[in-house]
Structure 1
Amino acid sequence: MQDETITNPEEQEVPVEAAAEDAGKTLDEINEEIEKELEEAIEQEERSREEELEEEVAELKNKLLRSVADLENYRKRSARDKADAIRYGNQRLLEDLLPVIDNFGMGMAASEQDAGSMIYMGMQMVQKQLDDFLGNQGVQVVDLKPGDVFDPKEHDAMAQEVSEEFEEGQIIRIMRKGYKMGDRLIRPANVVVAQAAVVEEAADAVAEEGEES
């Protein structure tokens, strides 16, 4: 007697044609749907890859632009530093020379009573040579006169005095000339600045109180 194998109808494979007929579709229609889904999946993957490439290109472009900008800024800084080195290369020497020029100017002022003498005329010639030398180096005296407003960026206040002629904050007199080399201040002018009389009176009152105590 032969063994009979009982097969569960639910476990039997259903042919594609039968499945298509059950779904009310033909085999060609199912294949078309599968192909369409594959095409859409491929297109989606290509779009994603294309977007990634566009992002990478944009990032590389930004890096390139930044590199170009950095290089241009470096070139400008180098050119500016080179120009400053040429322009201000003698600044230290000129700073050391200015006190000598100051002393020579004081000697000129003290010799004015002998303005007609050969010595004074020779000193005038030397003064002109010094002025020409400073001018050739781009050095100029800070434009300043009594009555100008005190500017801490260009002036050093050596003292304050009460003045009836000048208002508070104005320069009374110039103790030492200031010099510039181009736009750079190489030595500030030493000046005496006017202060308000009220400040002077208050200082006197404090001094008197101190003496009484």
Structure 2
Amino acid sequence: MRKVIEKTDLVDIAAKLFRMKGYSATSIDDIARAAGLTKGSLYHHFAGKEAIAAAALEQVHQYYRDEIFAIVREADDPGVAQLEAFNLAVERFFTDHPHGCLLANMSLEIGGSFDLFSQQIRRFFEEWQDCYMTVFSRFFSAAEARNRAADAVAIVQGCILMNRIWHNIHPLRRQHGALVESCRAVAAVA
């Protein structure tokens, strides 16, 4: 009897393996075995590892769009409350996914040389940065908001990397708190 697995579940399994082992060290056999499928069954869904990885990157990105980026994007006038909710959602995601950010991990592993992945990865981080910029532009000039947004993504991703290494989410929480406090400090003066 053939095992039936949803395509999204297969992508989740592959994403977890890519986070844990890396893209290069994860084989089609690893993914098929973890999903309880034959390689042939896996190829029924995807042309190869590159296609599975592209789907995994997109699935994570879509989750962020729907569950995290939407916190800021769908707010009428996003401010400190939305930033706090956004931060909490990010912390929850990385508490549930302690092997780090799939997009950052793959970017570090393959560098900017793989066009398909680099475009997907760039779009993800641009959207993340845009969310910060949307909130920060309420409190800072456009140029300052843009710089703070770029810095925030870099700092937060560093904390996510450290969480992967040390299994400690507290540096991420401290940095998130600092982002919120910087906005509150400006609001208190205004």
Q: How does the TM-score come out when normalised to structure 1?
A: 0.22
Whichever structure has more strand as a proportion of its residues is: 1
Instruction: Choose between structure 1 and 2 for higher RCO, CA contacts under 8 A separated by at least 6 residues.
Output: 2
